[in-house]
A and B are shown apart, each in its own frame.
Chain A
Amino acid sequence: MQSRREQLVAVFTILPSIVLLGIFVYGFIGNSMHMSTTDWGQEAAMSLTPNIQSVGMDNYRDLFTGFLNVRFRQDLINMFFFTLLFVGLSLLIGLFLATLIDQLVWGEAFFRTVFLYPMSLSMVVTGTIWRWILQPRGGINVLPTLIGLPPGEFLWLSSRTQTLVFDWSHIFHYVCLILLVILTLNVYGQWRRQGSKRLPRKLMLCAVLLGVFASGILTRIPLLEYPEAHGFNNALWGVVLAAVWQMSGYTMALYLAGLRTIPHELREAARVDGGSEFQIYRYVDLPLLKPITASAIVILGHIALKIFDLIFAISGPDHYPTSMPAITMFLKTFRGNELAVGSAIGVILFLIVSLLIVPYLVVSFREE
């Protein structure tokens, strides 16, 4: 048994780390939250004894509805689409690569090494390389000419074309639609597994969301006095391509590790019962990989939401079509000296990432 003294020594050993993290994580987040409600910036940013006034939630209101902050609103839309495409494609390609490698008779270690290699690179290196490959009149776009086809015309990073255009004032309308889709998928999955946990309540909520969306009541909230178009920027495809190249090996490694832990007896039993190889993959392997998908979504998701270095290197911080909140935060803080606004963007990012991370950590540590 450990003596009291030993216990005390142990606590004092870990104390410096706890204090440091307490200050650098929680203290600083608290400070950012506080500063985001002030007018700290411009001259006050420079002076040693700044005169800082409290302005309440004005910085946040300005970011979401102010005339000058149109860029930040498009950043949020860019972040949403980038996260969706990057996470979705990385999962699909990673699962495909893992399944493929699992089948191989020869060179398994070699292929694993090749597909995972980009993950050991810096996002700055990846961005620099892809900036060259995605040149409008070079790189990927001249590949077709090597086999006699006309060159590609797609502007991977510099396109100014926007699709799925909507008015910012209708944002709640579309948020409602996204929630409806997520909930419907969830209910459908439960219904198929014949789980009945809170099913009636979820169905009710679905109906309410459907009603709200169909009535279009949320489009009547006047966030702005004028229409402001936002949408999916085609230029994001270049960024998605580079990011998927870098991180799909990561999901491959996760899925491959998962496939390796599936007991042989399980597949053998399914085979004895007359299951085809495809059926075994579909009904034995895939369901057992679900927890890995959940982890991968959380980890790739939080990388995507705060993406900064890749954008900085691949298109520069001043390129509007591929900008993200983290980029605008950097520019506002370090170029514009708008420290309070920069803090506000940091806090918004923190809240969005927390929505993803906190449930994950709660579930992980409750299991222990």
Chain B
Amino acid sequence: MKSKGVLGISAQVLAILLAIVYLIPIYMTIITSLKTPGEINLISAWALPSSINWEGYIVAWERFAPNLRNSFVLAVGATLISAMMGSLNGYVLSKYPFPGAKVVMPLIVFGMFIPYQSVLVPLFRFMQKAGLYGGLPGLILVHVVYGLPITTLLFRSFYQEIPNELLDASSIDGAGFFGIFRYLILPLSGPPFLVVCIWQFTQIWNEFLFAVTLTRPSSQPITVALANLAGGQAVSWNLPMAGSVLAALPTTIIYILLGRYFVRGLLAGALKG
């Protein structure tokens, strides 16, 4: 409900103040990333840079370009595969419920809540034995598998809304399982694909635990490179701040352009029936 009068104005003022508080870390990151190492000290940390200096970004780009590329390959690959599989799974679970499907669904969803520490040692050994340890294909596989619960859940709840009569009509016309999927379900799946892909891309781009334990340096995504850099003490702060901006850029752009779908993914994950 909207408040009017004094209450409305004070709510407005309070919202502005809080927004400033929430943006303070972003302000701090950007100003520090644009300073020269010599200008960065603890006392004047809040002051704007005396002149804009791109050195931090140049060094960060040189250093992180391979990691950013790794993150892109990883996030795009794993997102597309897990979305496609999730779509098929959701189709099966909502339209072709097999005996036992009611038990299978919670067992699948449970997989997205487990702490990955409880599978990490066998996973690590499995990847070594399968020859997948260290590289991007292995990491993509891991993200696809552990992404299946959320993608399956999101697609299933979307497909449940599609009336069964539509499917019956298609099957009378002679379309089979894949025919219905290809010509009826997929054309209706634009919005859920967008929601699922945005969600998965953001999650995988931002992920750290699998990345740090299952890759060699040459295949490390940006999160690992950034964490290693900030952990070292010798580095001046403009570099990790510029690196943070680079690491945050892709998800920030998606969030600003397609925030509506990001929120829908986030709500669908939490407020399911």
Q: What 1/0 flags go to A318-353 for Cβ under 8 Å of B?
A: 000000011001100110000100110111011001
**A346 with B113: CB separation less than 8 A:** no
Q: Is B50 interfacial (CB 8 A cutoff)? A: no
Please give, as numbers and ranges, the residues of chain B lying within 8 Å of A204 by CB-CB distance.
Answer: none
B101 to A: closest C-beta gap in Å: 9
Please give, as numbers and ranges, the residues of chain A lying within 8 Å of B70 by CB-CB distance.
Answer: none
Please give, as numbers and ranges, the residues of chain B lying within 8 Å of A29 by CB-CB distance.
Answer: 114, 118-119
Please give, as numbers and ranges, the residues of chain B lying within 8 Å of A339 by CB-CB distance.
Answer: 121
Given A7-B96, A100-B18: A353 and B120 within 8 A (CB)? no
Complex Cα distance, B255 from A7, in Å, reads 40
Q: Is B85 interfacial (CB 8 A cutoff)? A: yes
Given A24-B145, A250-B266, A308-B208: A350 and B118 within 8 A (CB)? yes
Q: Is B133 interfacial (CB 8 A cutoff)? A: no
Q: Is the interface of B mostly helix, strand, loop or mixed?
A: helix
Residue in B115, B223, B241 with the greatest tally of chain A CB atoms within 10 Å = B115
Q: Is A97 interfacial (CB 8 A cutoff)? A: yes
Q: Is A92 interfacial (CB 8 A cutoff)? A: no
**A28 with B122: CB separation less than 8 A:** yes
Complex Cα distance, B7 from A324, in Å, reads 43
Interface residues on B, range: 35 or more
Q: Is B252 interfacial (CB 8 A cutoff)? A: yes
Q: Is B191 interfacial (CB 8 A cutoff)? A: no
Q: Tell me which residues from 111 to 157 in chain A have a Cβ below 8 Å from any Cβ of chain B.
A: 111, 113-125, 127-133, 135, 137-139, 142-143, 146
Which of A1, A104, A343 makes the CB contact (< 8 A) with B12?
A104
**A292 with B271: CB separation less than 8 A:** yes
**Which of A10-18, A55-63, A64-72, A182-190 lies at the interface?**
A10-18
Given A14-B92, A24-B119, A353-B115: A105 and B267 within 8 A (CB)? no
**A299 with B96: CB separation less than 8 A:** no
Complex Cα distance, B226 from A123, in Å, reads 11
Q: Is A164 interfacial (CB 8 A cutoff)? A: no
**A121 with B19: CB separation less than 8 A:** no
In the complex, the chain A residue whose C-beta lies closest to that of B86 is: A17
Q: Is A47 interfacial (CB 8 A cutoff)? A: no
Complex Cα distance, B93 from A334, in Å, reads 39
**A313 with B230: CB separation less than 8 A:** yes
Given A17-B152, A106-B12: A133 and B25 within 8 A (CB)? yes
Q: Is A272 interfacial (CB 8 A cutoff)? A: no
In the complex, the chain A residue whose C-beta lies closest to that of B104 is: A18
| A→B interface (CB under 8 Å) | 1-2, 6-7, 9-11, 13-14, 16-18, 20-21, 24-29, 31-32, 35, 97, 100-107, 110-111, 113-125, 127-133, 135, 137-139, 142-143, 146, 245, 249-250, 253-254, 257, 267, 277, 292, 295-296, 299, 302, 305-306, 308-309, 312-313, 316, 325-326, 329-330, 333-334, 339, 342-343, 345-347, 349-350, 353, 357-358, 361-362, 364-365, 367-368
